[in-house]
Each structure stands twice: as C-alpha cells, then as structure tokens.
Copies of this chain bind each other. A is one copy, B any other.
Amino acid sequence: MVAAAAGVSRATVSRVVNASPRVTESVVAAVNDAIARLNYVPNRAARSLASRRTQVIALVVPETTAKLFSDPFFASVIQGIAMALADTDFTLNMLISSETRSEKTRRYLLGGNVDGAIVVSHHSGDHSYAQLGQSLPIVFGGRPLLASESGSYFVDVDNAAGAAVATEHLASRGSRHIATIAGPQDMPPGLDRLAGWRHALALRGLDDSLWEVGDFTPESGAEAMRRLLARGRPIDGLFAANDQMAAGAYSVIHEHGLSIPGDIRVAGFDNNYFGSTAVPALTTIDQPSAELGAKMAEVLVKLIERQSVERVTLMSTRLVERASTAP
C-alpha cells in the first residue's frame, strides 16, 4: 500500500480511511494528504473480503414486471434510491430476477454478495422474498398483501388516505354520484385505493356501489368506464385508481358526448403525464415517488448498520388540483 509512504503503517491508513476515532489528528491529516497526493482509491474487493461486508445493496426487480421501467412512478422510485445511495458508501446492484431464475437470485442474495436488498415490484404485495428477511436486511416497496408477511420492513405511500382525499375533493366540488375504477384486487394499491374511495363516500353518506375493476392500463380504464356508463345510472364524478386508467376513461366519456368536468368530474392517482397531458388536465394525487425510494434506501442502510428503524413507513400524498374537477 503506497499510502504507507506517508510515514505510517498500513493498519493506520486503514483506520484513517475508515474514520476510526482513535488516531492522532496530525496523523490523520498526513495520511489524508498522502491519499490525495497519490490519488489512492481503496480496492472494494479487498475491503469487503477482509471486512466481510460488501457495501453492495441489491435492487431486486421481478422480471414479470419488465414493464416496470416504463412506469414513470417506478422509474422515479429507483432514481430516489440511487440518489440516496450516492451519498453513502453503498453501491446499487440491479437484479432483474425472472421467475425461472428466482432461485438463483435467492442464492445470490444469501451468498454473501450483498449487505441488503430492496425489493420493488408492480405486484408490490408479493413479498415472496420476505422469508429472506430473516437472513438478510430487506426493505420492500409497498405493503405486503398478506398480513402473515407483516414481519417485513416496508415503505409505502398512504394509498387509502390519498384515494379518500381525491374522492372527498370530488364531493366537495359538488359531485354526488361518484364512481371509481379500481385497480386489481390482488394488489395492495388496488385494494387500498378502493377502500379509501369507500371510506370517503361513507363519511358523506353517499352511494358506494358504482365501481368497476381495471388493471391499471389505459385500455382497461376505457373498458371499465364503458361498463360503468352501461349501468344507466347517473354518474357525475369519477375517481380512477391511477392516471393511466383515467386517461382511458376520458376517451370513453368523450365518446359518449359527455364533458369533463361539466358532466363528470374526474380525479386520478399517481400524477404522471398521462394526467398532466390529458385534456382537460387531470386532478390527481401526487405520490412522493423519489422520496419513497430515498426512504427505502435510508431504512435499509439503517437496518444494515443495526440502527433502530420503524418496520412500517407510510409516506403521505398530495392533491394536485387541475381542470378536470373544476367546480
């Protein structure tokens, strides 16, 4: 180790690099100076081999969700993770784990190649990696679908609260027959946003039977809207569980010669450009996606460093009012 040419031993240099408290100040300065001068960069491999810590965090992305990236929300979450980690000594290792290789992923994770993992999936309820949580620090994006897996650490957005806010907003603007296009009922966001809609209607004493299920795609939103209108009952408000489905619903509403917000006020959830570029611009619920990712990274790092952390972190949402719910 050349830096030892700073007049000290390799061990001391190591201490300085690792910010050990028990090193004389003058020595620290001398070593740091030498490090800068020699352009020294510690070798990660050697370091982890000796310390038995890898400084690597895995980002597990179930491949069935190859579309993951095409969803701006997740892209943003991942960005948040990357940004948060950039301030630490941890490195991000993306694992696209297809179903056929999930066993391989599992072994890789347990093989001492990473210090912890972040699991992000469209099927965020899928905590099938939850069991690993006992052998390796893991943080999930999204609450588990099953209560039985509630032992895991996770960061989630408060879906129910957000949905309730959007619904109440529609009501406050005057809508009385508020329908919803819910997400898949086997995914927590699908369930929770429907529950939030119900909750808000209950508080107002409004009817909560006007709901159809979609799969978060624009097409499914259009179909669901078609089914809702086919019921022949009055509808003057719509809460779509995401902006994509709201966009799909838009086209059907227009097809039927109805206007937004004139005949039907519409609110979505996610705040992405499906909503912002729609005409009229869509009122929606904004999720702090990058912050969510950053929080996941933060929780994981604490977990790895054995600091105490909450098992559950819920991030709050924000209503973004736009033309689609004008009074």
> Which among B45, B82, B92 is the interface contact of A49 at CB below 8 angstroms?
B45
A46 interface hit (Cβ, 8 Å): yes
Q: Once the chains are docked, how many angstroms separate the CA of A108 from the CA of B107?
A: 28
Contact present for B277 and A111 (CB under 8 Å) = no
A308 smallest CB distance to B (angstroms)? 28
CB-CB under 8 A from A93, the residues of chain B are 91-93
Q: Count A-side interface residues using an 8 Å CB cutoff.
A: 45
The proximity string for A residues 154-185 relative to B, scoring 1 for CB distances below 8 Å and 0 otherwise, is: 00000000000000000000000000000000
Contact present for B69 and A111 (CB under 8 Å) = no
When C-beta atoms are compared, the residue in chain B nearest to A77 turns out to be B69
Q: Once the chains are docked, how many angstroms separate the CA of A273 from the CA of B247?
A: 11
A274 smallest CB distance to B (angstroms)? 7
Number of copies: 2
Q: Once the chains are docked, how many angstroms separate the CA of A95 from the CA of B82?
A: 8
Q: Once the chains are docked, how many angstroms separate the CA of A121 from the CA of B91?
A: 20
* A-side interface mostly: helix
The proximity string for A residues 78-111 relative to B, scoring 1 for CB distances below 8 Å and 0 otherwise, is: 1100110010000111111010010000011011
Contact present for B83 and A96 (CB under 8 Å) = yes
Q: Once the chains are docked, how many angstroms separate the CA of A112 from the CA of B40?
A: 11
> Which among B43, B78, B92, B112 is the interface contact of A69 at CB below 8 angstroms?
B78
Nearest 5 A/B pairs, CB to CB: A41-B111, A69-B75, A45-B48, A45-B49, A69-B79
Residues of A within 8 A of B (CB): 39, 41-46, 48-49, 54, 61, 63, 66, 68-70, 72, 75-76, 78-79, 82-83, 86, 91-96, 98, 101, 107-108, 110-113, 218, 247, 273-274, 277-279
- Seed contacts A83-B96, A273-B273; 9 additional CB < 8 Å A-B pairs: A41-B110, A43-B111, A44-B45, A61-B82, A66-B83, A70-B76, A72-B75, A93-B93, A279-B279
- Between-chain CB contacts (< 8 Å), 23 pairs: A41-B107, A41-B110, A41-B112, A41-B113, A43-B112, A43-B113, A44-B54, A45-B48, A46-B49, A49-B49, A69-B75, A69-B78, A70-B75, A83-B96, A92-B94, A93-B93, A94-B94, A218-B277, A273-B273, A273-B274, A274-B277, A277-B278, A279-B279
